[in-house]
A = this chain, B = another copy of it.
């Protein structure tokens, strides 16, 4: 019944919930199962976690630490987009090795209530994409790119989880991954910024933007705005 009588109930609840979530094959996990395995009664659960979802969120946070650790642990390769690729793979891997945990984290969709985890995963991706943006490697704002890539990543992972194990084809993942990354990347040498992507900085980007703006009159700013904008740009680009 109760396992680990030494530990405080809060932790026993967390472990029991995690264990049941990991081992439950398909069927749902009830609070009674959890409290019984933890050797605790119902009110204890609600005292510590508010409600069932609160407990699951807490379990997920722990699982998410693991997930994030996987996302962060590998040393940055210096190639941000390569790192994004690895984050994608890590995401899928996490979903396939811990499908039930993953489903609680990402699969528990209801209208107008998105899992707290999604925002975190999005932030992680955005952070990495920001590096790519600084290096002039993407042609979309990092936030939008992150949202888009994450949506596809989740979609692929859910698809793979839903498939029978023997039919799972990871090529679905790699293909979709590369499609998404390629689509937001400047990889195929489009602009000046992409040329000196290696040594990018505020200055390089400013110079590139300066050149690009003067080459093609953007109609996003009025002429007076543009004048001031260019002056600031000049100030920034001549700062080194």
Please list the residues of chain A having a beta carbon within 8 angstroms of any beta carbon in chain B.
25-26, 99-100, 103, 107, 109-115, 118, 130-131, 133-136, 138-142, 144, 147-148, 150-156, 158-159, 161-165, 171-172, 175-176, 178-180, 182-184, 186, 188, 190-194, 196-216, 218, 220-221, 225, 229, 232, 235-239
The answer on a CB contact under 8 Å between B193 and A201 is yes
The answer on a CB contact under 8 Å between A151 and B156 is yes
Q: From A140, A155, A232, name the one whose CB has the most chain B CB atoms within 10 angstroms.
A: A155
The answer on a CB contact under 8 Å between A162 and B110 is yes
Interface secondary structure of A, over-half rule? helix
A25: chain B residues at CB < 8 Å are: 111
Q: From A159, A163, A186, name the one whose CB has the most chain B CB atoms within 10 angstroms.
A: A159
A200: chain B residues at CB < 8 Å are: 139, 190-191, 208, 212
Apart from A136-B208, A139-B200, A182-B183, 10 more pairs, CB < 8 Å: A112-B161, A133-B210, A144-B171, A158-B158, A176-B180, A200-B208, A206-B209, A208-B209, A220-B236, A221-B235
- Known A-B contacts A179-B184, A204-B194; the reply to A239 vs B220 at CB < 8 A is yes
A163: chain B residues at CB < 8 Å are: 112, 114
21 A–B contacts, CB within 8 A, in A order: A100-B111, A111-B162, A114-B162, A134-B211, A134-B215, A141-B210, A141-B238, A148-B156, A153-B155, A154-B155, A179-B184, A193-B208, A194-B204, A202-B209, A202-B218, A213-B236, A220-B232, A220-B236, A220-B239, A221-B235, A229-B229
Give the complex CA separation of A179 and B159 in angstroms.
Answer: 19
The answer on a CB contact under 8 Å between A118 and B207 is no
Specify how many copies of this chain sit in the oligomer.
Answer: 2
The answer on a CB contact under 8 Å between B134 and A212 is yes
Residue of B nearest to A196 (CB): B216
A134: chain B residues at CB < 8 Å are: 208, 211-212, 215
The answer on a CB contact under 8 Å between A176 and B151 is yes
Give the complex CA separation of A29 and B66 in angstroms.
Answer: 34
- Known A-B contacts A130-B211, A156-B152, A220-B235; the reply to A201 vs B190 at CB < 8 A is yes
Give the complex CA separation of A175 and B149 in angstroms.
Answer: 10
The answer on a CB contact under 8 Å between A190 and B192 is no
Residue of B nearest to A188 (CB): B190
A140: chain B residues at CB < 8 Å are: 175, 207
